[in-house]
Structure 1
């Protein structure tokens, strides 16, 4: 009976080779194997399941050594992946295209009984409305033209994790976001930083301006503004606005009633704040959006901000389809390497999706994952047919595939 269940995906092999990583062929094969396994594995994506998808020669211990013991730098692999992505975008996107650099954070939640995994702590979950036992990861994402690409990630660790070295090593989430901004090299001349209300501090927005990026983001209702030179917060100010002072802005399928404030805020001498309601009577709770680029029209600011949703969509695919939360390794080295492989998998899928969008009708990452899973099933059928030709019994084929008869 053949040892290999299916041949490695040539598309994945080509992608790894294009990164020109200065690593051994064995390590490259591990990367190809893990990416292919992450894509084709349905259900839980622990290392055993991922490695058993393509061959029964490798097992959990082989994957664990790749993530925890072998000598390679996930930071350098991420650097090469990001550079290749941006080079691909640069070659395919017109120079005048506006790009959006998006920063946010997400939680990788674990069961409370999980104590041996390094770096876990209780972090506030916005979706759950309470603290959750988890890793907190600050990430960056790039949206430009048809491309929506994950870039980099930084693990947020609380100050006590570093002990006596905390003063030197600890970075809060704002500082990690600024690191991500510093590491990014835009493809085109105009790039906007898109963030939610947790990252629109004056310090971060000024840092982005120094790097050449205007910020568009949500802000909290207690932000101080100075209409007519009078100090107040935007929540209080919003209560005095009448519906005839707003304009209608359409974003996607939704209409918003928007009031535009332009002037000083407590962090910047001049900025735009949009106060947005979804009801004409202004009876619902408004949302507040800030833009440091005062030259943009109200509708453009709202339209640009809609692109921030891409990072939320990416989190959903990372977790629901690519196993971002499903690691069972314990060391931070192994965890970061696993995340690096998940980010590489997503990047490969997105570049493939854009390149084959029309010929294969791939609109989403979900479509692309579905395409490769169908290809995998074709390979399984070929494997079974090959075994039948060689006289291999059905029981042996079933055992080889690791499925129940």
Structure 2
């Protein structure tokens, strides 16, 4: 047993770290603290504070956790590569076993922070102002470029990186992440929103052996037969169409009217473009959405939209991570600490999805199971303390319940 906390050598989290070989990159005390932070994230009501983890190690001060994230000598880059390898092996293995395609979903989200005062001595590093499309205004915080890997019903985080426009553009970050992936064993698709739909990402996707499907800005120019010389913006073309020009398709439980175009773009010789409206909002202002496929022009409109649906898990990941894993509330300041926090958060997500939910391989179900396991281990710890002679008052003081 590790002295001073409810985490023991038989803890399911410790077993996972060893089994996945992630534990190879930590000393035993470091692995213990990793397990503590993961346990804190799993607990209901986690707020992103280091004190949440400190509550699980009553004999030690919360500054132990803060120093571990900011100063402890472990190589987060090595751990990140090991986690990526683990996730790729799992997703690629499922694809090989089921013959189902691999989806690489790329998107970004903003973790808002409070704008520091001019007198702040230690503001959170790497924060800046970003345009929030969700709120329709500029907000302050971290913009996080994220990659999720999806196959069948399994969704795993591959990368979370802070966007810093002084160092690298989001497009450059996306290209690098695509290039870091092995070729898919069957079909593979890179799925992005309209921000990433550009020539550099198209080319990187093709070179990596994947097919690209993404959202497409409706102010982009295309060249259908009637507008071959000067072209026409997609949103303007939409206004020229009639009911006879569109088809009704069903994607999942929803229905859409669609129109397709196959031809050149300003930066591409040929692509498949799909214009789409919800069934109840055909031709209504602001309801048009466009999608692009650049590598498989024989794909049907229905197939394109069904493939694109697999981008949705990254939105679910953002929502679950912000609500349950502290992605919106982490209270660490240095860039190193923040990167390490994200890494431990991804390991926790993988743990809940891979280790404790073997029947469903879903994070939300795995989180419920992990919480039950954590409570069970806490009760076992209390039992062992009483067997060793600790009084009720000792245990109440240990858990700060006296």
Q: TM-score, normalised by structure 2?
A: 0.89
Counterparts of 1:83 and 1:389 in 2: how far apart (Å)? 42
Post-superposition Cα deviations, 1:315-337, rounded to whole Å, max 9, x if no partner, equal 11111111123322221011111
Contact 2:96 2:186 in 1 (8 A): no
Which of 141, 145, 149 is matched with 1:142 structurally? 149
* Residues in 2 aligned to 1:174 and 1:126: alpha-carbon distance in whole angstroms: 18
**Post-superposition offset of 1:3:** 4.1
The worse-fitting range, judged by mean Cα deviation, of 376-385 and 126-135 is: 376-385
Q: Say if 1:102 and 1:194, in contact at 8 Å, map to a contact too.
A: yes
The answer as to 2:211 corresponding to 1:211 is: no
Deviation, 1:279, is: 2.8
How far the C-alpha of 1:383 sits from its partner, in A, is: 4.3
Partner of 1:131: 138
Give the conservation status (yes or no) of the 8 Å contact 1:195–1:218: yes
> Offset of 1:36 from its aligned partner?
2.1
Quote the offset at 1:395 in angstroms. Answer: 4.6
Between the aligned partners of 1:155 and 1:12, the Cα distance in structure 2 is 27
Which residue number corresponds to residue 351 of structure 2? Answer: 348
Map 1:307-326 onto structure 2 (within 5 A).
Answer: 307-326=310-329
C-alpha change, 1:252 and 1:136, in structure 2 (3 Å) is same
Alignment coverage as a number of residue pairs: 387
What is the CA–CA distance in structure 2 between the aligned matches of 1:366 and 1:45, rounded to whole Å? 18
Query: Would the aligned equivalents of 2:181 and 2:208 in 1 still touch at CA under 8 Å?
Result: no
1:101 pairs with 2:104: yes
Aligned to 1:10: 11
Name the CA distance, whole Å, in 2 between partners of 1:300 and 1:60: 52
In the alignment, structure 1 residue 26 sits paired with structure 2 residue 23: no
SS of 1:89's equivalent in the other structure is: helix
Give the alignment of 1:259-274 within 5 angstroms: 259-274=259-274
Task: Name the CA distance, whole Å, in 2 between partners of 1:90 and 1:192.
Answer: 13
Deviation at residue 185 of structure 1 after TM alignment: 1.8
Pair 1:255–1:282, CA change in 2 (3 A): same
CA deviation after TM superposition for structure 1 residue 394, in Å = 4.6
| Corresponding residue to 2:217 among 220, 223, 235 | 220
Confirm whether residue 77 of structure 1 aligns to residue 79 of structure 2.
Answer: yes
Question: Structure 2 residue aligned with 1:401, among 380, 389, 399?
Answer: 399
2:175 corresponds to which residue? 178
In structure 2, the residue matched to 1:374 is 372
- Name the structure 1 match of 2:245: 245
- Give 5+ residue unaligned stretches, structure 1: 160-169
Contact 1:222 1:235 in 2 (8 A): yes
Distance 2:327 2:9 in 1: 22
Cα drift, residue 353 of structure 1: 5.3
Q: Distance in 1 between matches of 2:244 and 2:188?
A: 33
Q: Which residue of 1 aligns with 2:43?
A: 40
Correspondence for 1:60: 62
